[in-house]
Amino acid sequence: MTENSSAEQAQREADLVETVVASFASTPDPRLRLVMESLTRHLHAFVRDVRLTESEWNEAIAFLTAAGAITDERRQEFILLSDVLGLSMQTVAVNNEAYGNATEATVFGPFFTKDAPLIEDGGDLSGGAPGQPCWVEGSVSDTSGAPIAGARIEVWEADEDGFYDVQYDDGRVAARAHLFSRDDGSFRFWGLTPTPYPIPDDGPVGRLLAATGRSPYRASHLHFMVTAPGWRTLVTHIFVSGDELLARDSVFGVKESLVVDFAEQGAGIPTPDGRELHEPWTRTRFDIVLAPEA
């Protein structure tokens, strides 16, 4: 290719970008116009940067088609794709700016449901799911340390086999619940000691991870979503200190401030609420600090 032809090719490509961008000029919603113009420029820049071939583009279309085909009301493959590309965590970072000592947010994940049962303070969310019992206690406060009463605390996790209840076909509801902070901001409940598990890797996202030599495993964690009027909704996890997967979580969700100790307790050690356990258990504490609503 001559210098002139190369320059002509580059100009053709640049002209196409501007033509597509201009097509959004009459978009009534200014935010939508901004998003579509920026998206167009970035997507075209990617294609031009890697010199994407037509066969590669066809493979990409097939990949996205497969992601759509496997997605249903119980599984969201596009969330998994966003997670493994770090896009979910980048979106979390952009939308949860640091505010004093407020608890850091992390990825939402694909397994939250809105119909988790209510448990009383000190109740058990396991619902019969297999796993080691874990006593979780903590508090909800603002950045000055003042307690926040009545905060809704949603909690969900995988069982010891690495599956969430919605991944089973029997309609079970287990290892998820919601409760409310008490007048002094405190909360406590029984759950399961978190264990590592792989994200669903039997679909296109799993094949992508395999092709790039990446593990599908997530570091051991327990999900929280905390809401209270006047306060920024917090979506976060706590992670198990000492887990070897902390440095290579498949969705980049680990933050140092969210790593906590899960202290091992022998079978004969009394529980905080007098529950009789004839097996080892763990206990942990997680104090939640909410930022004010923007």
Mean residue pLDDT of the chain comes to 96
Cα separation of 142 and 156, whole Å?
A: 23
Q: Are 103 and 239 in contact (CB under 8 A)?
A: no
Q: Does position 1 have pLDDT exceeding 80, yes or no?
A: no
pLDDT at residue 109 in the model: 84
pLDDT digits over 145-166, tens only?
Answer: 999 999 999 999 999 999 999 9
Q: Are 242 and 259 in contact (CB under 8 A)?
A: no
Cα separation of 222 and 131, whole Å?
A: 13
Q: Does position 12 have pLDDT exceeding 70, yes or no?
A: yes
pLDDT at residue 261 in the model: 98
pLDDT digits over 213-224, tens only?
Answer: 999 999 999 999
Residue 169, both tokens = 């076909």
**Confidence (pTM):** 0.89
pLDDT at residue 30 in the model: 98
Q: Higher pLDDT residue, 29 or 73?
A: 29
CATH of 81-289, one of 2.40.50.140, 2.60.130.10, 3.90.1150.10, 3.10.20.30: 2.60.130.10
Q: Could you tell me the residue ranges of all domains in the chain?
A: 7-52, 81-289
Averaged pLDDT, 11-34: 98
Residue 148, both tokens = 């926040």
Nearest alpha-carbon partner for 222 in 119, 93, 289, 125 = 125
Cα separation of 280 and 208, whole Å?
A: 39
pLDDT digits over 161-210, tens only?
Answer: 999 999 899 999 999 999 999 999 999 999 999 999 999 999 999 999 99
Phi/psi for 223 (5° steps) reads -85, 145
Listed in sequence order, the residues at least 6 apart from 151 whose beta carbon sits closer than 8 Å to its beta carbon are: 140, 180, 181, 185, 226, 227, 228, 231, 288, 290
